[in-house]
Structure formats: structure tokens, C-alpha cells
Amino acid sequence: MGSFSTLSRSSSRLLFRQLFENESFTYTYLLADISHPDKPALLIDPVDRAVDRDLNLVRELGLKLIYAMNTHVHADHITGTGLIKGKVPGVKSVISKASGSKADVFVEHGDKISFGNLFLEVRATPGHTVGCVTYVTGDGPDQPQPRMAFTGDALLVRGCGRTDFQGGSSEQLYKSVHSQIFTLPKETLVYPGHDYKGFTVTTVGEEMLYNPRLTKDEETFGSIMQNLNLPYPDMIDVALPANMVCGLQD
């Protein structure tokens, strides 16, 4: 028991699941501290259409959901946080204060979100939207190693979110990624908000070497972002107003 439990202790607390919603290509993440008697859990970026799947899983695993969080106000799908609150009493919705959206808990840069003995650190990473945050697992002896960063749309696997609406700014996104994400240890696992090519995870070190946009200098990055010529998102007129109020409108 001795050496085995020492070896696995630091990572054995975290239960982690990556879930995919295949209409909006969105990843939802389930994290829980299963060494805590309550098994407190949180969901990052749940999608309205997948709420029943997510809550079933939470139930089957015997977890107690305490937070339903968003990395930002999404333009491509409706958040599941409002539906979740209706189905699981006591769950609190979480979003950044800078998003200007409604929620039970507003976070700012440097805040910590605790679930059992684990925590997420909030890093402000604006640029895709004005209120984007990245949630990073804690730094400490009892926290998961390597660390994990939930970047939303600030940093994607070999890509990044667009910067042409919702208060987006390529200058700001460049600064955010370089100062808040690329300064994490290189082995930090990066879990994106979406993927369209089948990737599931990357690392800080990998993106510092191979991200086709963010490895460039700031000026080149700006012109890449300006010339993407992306179509207006299908869902934006429905999703934005709904997501300002946890996905539920009267």
C-alpha cells in the first residue's frame, strides 16, 4: 500500500470526463473530487441539448454537482447552466463579471473555485470575447499534475477563437494567450472549448511550437485574424441573448 498510494495520491482525487456535443462541436468538462465524502463536482461549458446526458452521468457516478460554469458567453450554442439549475437544486452558475451576463457567482482574474479539496484558478483571457476566462487546476501538492487549463475559445488545438464580434480583439487575445496560458508549465494539458478536426487535448508546449497563429508575432497574428472571412455564426442571434441569462429566456 505504502509506495503505491504515495505515487498515485496527487492525481487520484480528480475524476475527469471530457464530453462532446456534436452539433456545435463543443466540449463540456466534468470534474469532481472523489476523495471527498460528498464527491463535489462541476461542469464547464455545458450545452443545453446535452444536459440530460451530463446529469445522468453525474448521477451514475454518485457525484454532487455544485457548479455549472461558463468560460464565456457563447455565440454558437445555448448554455445548459440554466436548465441544470432547474433540474438540480443548489447548483450555482458561474461566469466572469466582465461578461456582463447573469449568473449566481461572478468570477474575476485570480479568483479560486473550490470543489472539495481541489480548486480551479481563474485567469482572465479576453480577446475572443471581452469576458473570456481560462480555468486552470490548482498549483499545489494535492492538485492534479500536470495542471489542466480549460481555455474555452481563447486557445484551441492548433487554433484560436475568432475575434471579430462580442468585444473581440486580436491584440487582446494575443496578449492573453502569451501572458496567461503560454506562461504555464509546458506540460500543462490544454482542454479547448471546441474542436472541429477530432483533436481532444494539447499541451502548452505543443501549442507554443505548432499553433499556426499564436506562434507568429503580434502583427502577423493580427492580419491572420483580420483575414479569416468567417461567416456570421448560425446560432448567434438566438444564442447570445439566451446566454446572457444562463440560457433561459421567458
What is d(CA 71, CA 103) in angstroms, rounded to the nearest whole number? Answer: 12
In terms of CB distance, is 4 or 196 closer to Fe ion? Answer: 196
Q: Please state the closest distance from residue 153 (CB atom) to Fe ion, in A.
A: 4
Is 9 in a helix, a strand, or coil?
helix
Set of cell numbers at residue 216: 507568429
End-to-end CA distance of the chain: 56
Q: Does 153 bind Fe ion (CB under 5 A)?
A: yes
Q: Please state the closest distance from residue 72 (CB atom) to Fe ion, in A.
A: 6
> Site residues for Fe ion, window 64-123 (CB under 5 A)?
74
Q: Which amino acid makes up residue 65? A: L
> Site residues for Fe ion, window 15-74 (CB under 5 A)?
74
In terms of CB distance, is 48 or 153 closer to Fe ion? Answer: 153
Verify cis geometry, omega within 30 degrees of 0, for the bond prior to 185: no
In terms of CB distance, is 74 or 85 closer to Fe ion? Answer: 74
- The window from 16-24, 37-45, 148-156, 227-235 that contacts Fe ion (CB under 5 A) reads 148-156
In terms of CB distance, is 33 or 153 closer to Fe ion? Answer: 153
Q: Please state the closest distance from residue 162 (CB atom) to Fe ion, in A.
A: 8
What is d(CA 122, CA 75) in angstroms, rounded to the nearest whole number? Answer: 21
Q: Could you tell me the CA-to-CA distances from 38 to 32, 67, 96, 203 in Å, in that order?
A: 10, 14, 26, 31
- The window from 4-12, 37-45, 149-157, 210-218 that contacts Fe ion (CB under 5 A) reads 149-157
Tell me, by CB under 5 A, how many residues bind Fe ion. 2
In terms of CB distance, is 119 or 174 closer to Fe ion? Answer: 174
Residue 90 makes CB contacts below 8 A (sequence gap 6+) with: 66
Mask: binding to Fe ion, 169-208, rule CB under 5 A, as x and -? ----------------------------------------
In terms of CB distance, is 116 or 131 closer to Fe ion? Answer: 131
Q: Please state the closest distance from residue 220 (CB atom) to Fe ion, in A.
A: 23
- The window from 35-43, 44-52, 110-118, 152-160 that contacts Fe ion (CB under 5 A) reads 152-160
Beta strands of the chain (E only): which ranges?
14-21, 26-33, 40-44, 64-69, 92-96, 105-107, 112-115, 118-124, 133-137, 148-152, 189-192, 202-203
Q: Which amino acid makes up residue 40? A: P
Query: Which residues of the shown chain bind Fe ion in the complex (CB under 5 A)?
Result: 74, 153
